[in-house]
Amino acid sequence: MSVRRLSIIAAVALLLCTVAVGAANAQSNRSVNDFSLKNASNAEVSLRSYASNKAVVIAFVNPSCAFSKLYRERFRALTSSYKDRGVQFIFINAPINIEDGHTTDAGDAASLPFFTDEGQKVSTLLGVTKTPEVVVLQPVGEGFAVRYKGAVDDNPQVEGYVKERYLATALDDVLAGRPASVTDKRAAGCLIKRP
């Protein structure tokens, strides 16, 4: 190879590394202030009410989305595994189409605390576009720092074939006082319907 080609390849590689590091830093430096959601009783619940937790996981799901259905048991297991470690899970029923946007499956409603994001303000604020997609927030000062956003793991279809558990890894890092080793992974799922 010529010196010129090597120089171009090196420059492109350096540019890609710079962009990747910049995106990771932007995600790790991002924070959100308080917001409110409505619970199943139609009462307002603020994010700030969970400030005493070590982490808050906001999970955007829809009971009509096939991908959300595939994660139902994984979400139950994660909630059970982390609740005694100071992690609060909040499940937002995000509409994927107008007809079924606010329906919940009786099995989900009994075991997962569903909230409503009226006008999809929270999903827009957090940059979430699919169900299921999760955001890990850590209380910091007067707000919450975004520590992870994206997929729960690397195999939405078959839990037995999962190799990378992104959400669990991010939570373990946050609980251990380390920066999340992965801050963003593209989620696969149903697109959230915007108003």
Q: Is 102 exposed, middle or buried (0-12, 13-18, 19+ CB in 10 A)?
A: middle
Copy the structure tokens of residue 170.
């991010």
Question: What is residue 172's DSSP assignment?
Answer: H
* Mean pLDDT of all residues in 39-56: 92
Angstrom distance (rounded) from CA 62 to CA 69:
8
| One-letter identity of residue 153 | D
Structure confidence at residue 8 (pLDDT): 67
In contact, 92 and 122? CB cutoff 8 Å: yes
What is the length of the chain?
Answer: 195
pLDDT of 125 strictly over 80: yes
Structure confidence at residue 159 (pLDDT): 85
Q: Which residue from 80, 32, 82, 24 is spatially nearest to 53, judged by alpha carbons? A: 82
In contact, 56 and 174? CB cutoff 8 Å: no
Q: What is the reported pTM?
A: 0.79
Structure confidence at residue 18 (pLDDT): 44
| One-letter identity of residue 73 | E
Q: Which residue from 115, 146, 137, 135 is spatially nearest to 44, judged by alpha carbons? A: 115
* Mean pLDDT of all residues in 75-93: 95
* Mean pLDDT of all residues in 139-158: 92
Residues 6+ apart with CB under 8 A from 50: 56, 88, 90, 139
